[in-house]
Amino acid sequence: MDRANEGKDQLIIIEEKISKVNGEMAVKKYLRGKLLGKGGFAKCYEVTNLETKKVIAAKIIPKQTLTKNRARQKLISEIKIHKSLNHQHVVAFEHVFEDHENVYILLELCTNHTLNELIKRRKRLTELEVQCYVVQIVNALKYLHSHRVIHRDLKLGNLFLNEKMEIKLGDFGLATKLESDKEKKHTICGTPNYIAPEILDGKTGHSYEVDIWSLGVIIYTLIIGKPPFETPDVKTTYKKIRNISYGFPENVPISDQARGLITRILNIDPQRRPSLDEIMSSSFLNTGGTIPKVLPLATLACPPSASYTKQ
Ligand SMILES: CC[C@@H]1C(=O)N(C)c2cncnc2N1C1CCCC1
Q: What pLDDT, in 10s, does the model give residues 223-240?
A: 999 999 999 999 999 999
Contact in structure between 235 and 192 (CB atoms under 8 Å): no
Whether the CB of 160 sits within 6 Å of ligand 1: yes
Note the pLDDT of residue 189: 74
Can you tell me the distance from the alpha carbon of 166 to that of 105, in angstroms, rounded to the nearest whole number? 22
What distance in angstroms lies between residue 274's CA and the mean position of ligand 1's atoms? Answer: 31
Is residue 4 pLDDT above 90, yes or no?
A: no
Note the pLDDT of residue 203: 81
Can you tell me the distance from the alpha carbon of 134 to that of 140, in angstroms, rounded to the nearest whole number? 10
- Torsion angle, alpha carbons of 249, 215, 243, 246, to 10: 0
Can you tell me the distance from the alpha carbon of 74 to that of 165, in angstroms, rounded to the nearest whole number? 29
Contact in structure between 88 and 136 (CB atoms under 8 Å): no
Is residue 144 pLDDT above 90, yes or no?
A: yes
H helices within 174-310, ranges in order? Answer: 197-201, 209-224, 234-242, 256-265, 276-280, 283-286
Percent pLDDT > 70 in the chain is 91
Is residue 2 pLDDT above 90, yes or no?
A: no
Whether the CB of 292 sits within 6 Å of ligand 1: no
Q: Summarize the confidence of residues 153-167 as an average pLDDT.
A: 97
297 — pLDDT class (breaks 50, 70, 90):
very low
Is residue 309 pLDDT above 80, yes or no?
A: no
What distance in angstroms lies between residue 266's CA and the mean position of ligand 1's atoms? Answer: 29
Q: Taking the alpha carbons of 154, 139, 218, 55 in that order, is the dihedral positive or negative? A: positive
Q: Summarize the confidence of residues 86-90 as an average pLDDT.
A: 98
267 — pLDDT class (breaks 50, 70, 90):
very high
Longest dimension (CA), the chain: 71
Whether the CB of 142 sits within 6 Å of ligand 1: no
Q: What one-letter code names the amino acid at 140?
A: A
Can you tell me the distance from the alpha carbon of 112 to that of 164, in angstroms, rounded to the nearest whole number? 8
Can you tell me the distance from the alpha carbon of 185 to that of 183, in angstroms, rounded to the nearest whole number? 7
- Torsion angle, alpha carbons of 54, 76, 134, 303, to 10: -20
Whether the CB of 105 sits within 6 Å of ligand 1: no
Q: Whose CA is nearest to atom 11 of ligand 1?
A: 110
Can you tell me the distance from the alpha carbon of 47 to that of 31, in angstroms, rounded to the nearest whole number? 5
Whether the CB of 82 sits within 6 Å of ligand 1: no
Whether the CB of 228 sits within 6 Å of ligand 1: no
Q: Summarize the confidence of residues 111-132 as an average pLDDT.
A: 97
DSSP percent split of the chain into helix, strand, coil, nearest 5? 35, 20, 40
Ligand 1, residues 36, 61, 102, 116: which to mutate, most atoms within 8 A of Cβ? 36
**pLDDT tens digits, one per residue of 25-68:** 999 999 999 999 998 889 999 999 999 999 999 999 999 999 99
Ligand 1, residues 30, 35, 43, 44: which to mutate, most atoms within 8 A of Cβ? 44
Q: Which long-range contacts (CB under 8 A, 24 or more apart) does 68-71 make?
A: 71/41
* Structural element, H or E, at residue 153: none
Is residue 71 pLDDT above 50, yes or no?
A: yes
Q: Summarize the confidence of residues 248-276 as an average pLDDT.
A: 97
Is residue 277 annotated as a catalytic residue, yes or no?
no
What distance in angstroms lies between residue 204's CA and the mean position of ligand 1's atoms? Answer: 34
Note the pLDDT of residue 188: 72
Whether the CB of 217 sits within 6 Å of ligand 1: no
Q: Summarize the confidence of residues 150-174 as an average pLDDT.
A: 96
Can you tell me the distance from the alpha carbon of 173 to that of 240, in angstroms, rounded to the nearest whole number? 26
Q: Summarize the confidence of residues 180-200 as an average pLDDT.
A: 86
Note the pLDDT of residue 310: 43
Q: Summarize the confidence of residues 209-214 as an average pLDDT.
A: 97
Is residue 290 pLDDT above 60, yes or no?
A: no
Q: How many other C-beta atoms are found inside a 10 Å radius of the C-beta of residue 56?
A: 19
Q: Summarize the confidence of residues 256-268 as an average pLDDT.
A: 98
Note the pLDDT of residue 191: 80
What distance in angstroms lies between residue 222's CA and the mean position of ligand 1's atoms? Answer: 21
Q: How many other C-beta atoms are found inside a 10 Å radius of the C-beta of residue 85?
A: 18
What distance in angstroms lies between residue 175's CA and the mean position of ligand 1's atoms? Answer: 17
What distance in angstroms lies between residue 271's CA and the mean position of ligand 1's atoms? Answer: 33
Contact in structure between 98 and 92 (CB atoms under 8 Å): no
CA angle 142, 143, 144 (to 5 degrees): 95
Nearest ligand 1 atom, CA 105? 1
Note the pLDDT of residue 311: 36
Note the pLDDT of residue 289: 58
Whether the CB of 37 sits within 6 Å of ligand 1: yes
* Structural element, H or E, at residue 200: helix 197-201
Q: What one-letter code names the amino acid at 88?
A: Q
Nearest to 47 by CA among 8, 96, 14, 78: 14
7 — pLDDT class (breaks 50, 70, 90):
low
Bridge partners, residue 98, by sequence: 103
Of 86-90, 150-154, 166-170, 298-302, least confident by mean pLDDT is: 298-302
Can you tell me the distance from the alpha carbon of 162 to that of 168, in angstroms, rounded to the nearest whole number? 7
Whether the CB of 106 sits within 6 Å of ligand 1: no
Q: Summarize the confidence of residues 97-101 as an average pLDDT.
A: 95
Annotated catalytic residue, options 153, 171, 211, 233: 153
